[in-house]
A and B are shown apart, each in its own frame.
Chain A
Amino acid sequence: MTYLAKPKLHHPSLAKNRVGYTRRDYEGKISTLCAGCGHDSISAAIIQACWELDIEPHRVAKLSGIGCSSKTPDYFLGNSHGFNTVHGRMPSVLTGAYLANRELIYLGVSGDGDSASIGLGQFAHLMRRGVNMTYLVENNGVYGLTKGQFSATADKGSRSKKGQTNSDAPIDLVTLALFMGATYVARGFSGDKAQLVPLIRAALAHQGAAVIDILSPCIAFNNHAGSTKSYDYVREHNEAVNRLDFFPQREEITAEYGAGELVQIRQHDGSVVNLRKLHTDYDPTDRIRAMSYVQEHAARGELVTGLLYVDADAGDLHEQIGTVEQALNTLGAAELCPGSAALEKINASLR
Chain B
Amino acid sequence: MQKIEAVNDFVVKFANINGSGSASANELFARAILRMGVPVSPRNIFPSNIQGLPTWFEVRVTEHGYLGRRGGVDMMVAMNPQTWDQDVREIDPGGYLFYDSSKPIPRSRFRSDIHVLAMPLTELCNDTYSDARERQLFKNIIYIGALTQLLEIDPAEIEKLFGEQYKGKEKLLESNVRALDLGRQYARQNLKPIALKVERRDCVGDRIFVDGNSAAALGCVYGGATVCAWYPITPSSSVAEAFQRYTQKLRVDPTSGQHRYAIIQAEDELASIGMVIGAGWNGARSFTATSGPGVSLMTEFIGLAYFAEIPAVIINVQRGGPSTGMPTRTQQADVLACAYASHGDTKHVLLFPEDPYECFEMSAQALDLAERLQTPVFVMTDLDIGMNQRLSRPFTWDDRREYDRGKVMSREELDAGADFGRYLDVDGDGIPYRTYPGTHPTRGGYFTRGSTKNAYATYSEAGADYVYNMQRLRQKFETAKSLVPLPVLSAARFPARFAALFYGSTSPAMHEALDALAEQGIYINALRLRAFPFQNEIADFIASHAKVFVLEQNFDAQLTTLLVNEAGVNPASLVPILHYDGTPITARFITQEIAERVSKLNVRPLRENMVA
B-binding residues in A (CB < 8 A): 56-59, 61, 63, 73-74, 78-86, 89, 91-101, 103-104, 121-122, 125, 129, 318, 321-325, 328-329, 331-333, 335-340, 342-343, 346-347, 350-351
A83-B278, A93-B278 known, 18 other contacts, Cβ within 8 Å: A58-B438, A79-B445, A81-B436, A82-B446, A86-B274, A89-B271, A93-B277, A97-B437, A100-B279, A122-B274, A321-B262, A321-B263, A322-B259, A324-B258, A324-B260, A331-B260, A340-B398, A350-B394
Selected interface stretch from B106-114, B217-225, B320-328: B217-225
B300 located at the interface, meaning its Cβ lies under 8 Å from any Cβ of chain A in the complex: yes
A-binding residues in B (CB < 8 A): 206-210, 218, 221-222, 224, 226-227, 229, 250-251, 253, 256-264, 266-268, 270-284, 286, 300-301, 304, 308, 394-399, 401-403, 435-443, 445-451, 459
A78 to B261, CA, bound (A): 31
Q: Is the CB of A89 within 8 A of B208?
A: no
B304: A residues at CB distance < 8 A:
85-86
Listed from nearest, the 9 A-B pairs whose CB atoms lie closest are A96-B278, A92-B274, A100-B284, A81-B437, A96-B275, A329-B283, A100-B282, A93-B278, A96-B279
A322: B residues at CB distance < 8 A:
257-259
Q: Is the CB of A56 within 8 A of B394?
A: no
B398: A residues at CB distance < 8 A:
340
A98: B residues at CB distance < 8 A:
278
A338 to B259, CA, bound (A): 14
B249 to chain A, nearest CB (A): 8
B280 to chain A, nearest CB (A): 7
B222: A residues at CB distance < 8 A:
337-338, 343
Q: Is the CB of A346 within 8 A of B218?
A: yes
A336: B residues at CB distance < 8 A:
221, 224, 226, 251, 260, 403
A-B contact pairs, 22 of them (CB 8 A): A58-B437, A79-B445, A83-B448, A84-B451, A85-B450, A89-B271, A89-B300, A91-B274, A96-B274, A96-B282, A97-B281, A99-B275, A99-B279, A100-B283, A125-B266, A321-B262, A328-B262, A329-B283, A329-B284, A329-B436, A331-B260, A333-B402
A351 to B260, CA, bound (A): 28
A80 to B282, CA, bound (A): 13
A81: B residues at CB distance < 8 A:
435-438, 445-448
Most buried by A among B272, B275, B304, B442: B275
A7 to chain B, nearest CB (A): 18
B272: A residues at CB distance < 8 A:
92
Nearest neighbor of A325 in chain B, beta-carbon distance: B258
With A80-B437, A83-B448: A96-B277 Cβ-Cβ less than 8 Å: yes
B408 to chain A, nearest CB (A): 10
A47 to B54, CA, bound (A): 64
A103 to B448, CA, bound (A): 20
B218 to chain A, nearest CB (A): 7
With A74-B447, A96-B229: A121-B267 Cβ-Cβ less than 8 Å: yes
A56 to B304, CA, bound (A): 29
B276: A residues at CB distance < 8 A:
96
With A58-B445, A78-B445, A337-B224: A92-B270 Cβ-Cβ less than 8 Å: yes
With A328-B260, A338-B250: A84-B449 Cβ-Cβ less than 8 Å: yes
A216 to B132, CA, bound (A): 66
Contact among B221, B267, B301 for A125, CB-based, below 8 A = B267
A167 to B227, CA, bound (A): 43
A231 to B428, CA, bound (A): 53
Q: Is the CB of B403 within 8 A of A333?
A: yes
Q: Is the CB of A79 within 8 A of B441?
A: yes
With A61-B438, A343-B396: A335-B447 Cβ-Cβ less than 8 Å: no
With A92-B275, A329-B282: A323-B262 Cβ-Cβ less than 8 Å: yes
With A86-B301, A92-B278: A74-B459 Cβ-Cβ less than 8 Å: yes
B155 to chain A, nearest CB (A): 20
B259: A residues at CB distance < 8 A:
321-324
Q: Is the CB of A57 within 8 A of B441?
A: yes
B98 to chain A, nearest CB (A): 29
Most buried by B among A58, A318, A335: A58
With A97-B278, A347-B208, A351-B208: A80-B224 Cβ-Cβ less than 8 Å: no
B45 to chain A, nearest CB (A): 23
Q: Is the CB of B440 within 8 A of A58?
A: yes
Contact among A57, A96, A125, A351 for B280, CB-based, below 8 A = A96
A332: B residues at CB distance < 8 A:
224, 403
Q: Is the CB of A100 within 8 A of B227?
A: yes
B38 to chain A, nearest CB (A): 14
B530 to chain A, nearest CB (A): 22
A269 to chain B, nearest CB (A): 19
B278: A residues at CB distance < 8 A:
63, 83, 92-100
A86 to B251, CA, bound (A): 33
Q: Is the CB of A328 within 8 A of B448?
A: no
A103 to B437, CA, bound (A): 11
Q: Is the CB of A95 within 8 A of B275?
A: yes
Q: Is the CB of B437 within 8 A of A104?
A: yes
B218: A residues at CB distance < 8 A:
346
A167 to chain B, nearest CB (A): 28
Q: Is the CB of A84 within 8 A of B448?
A: yes
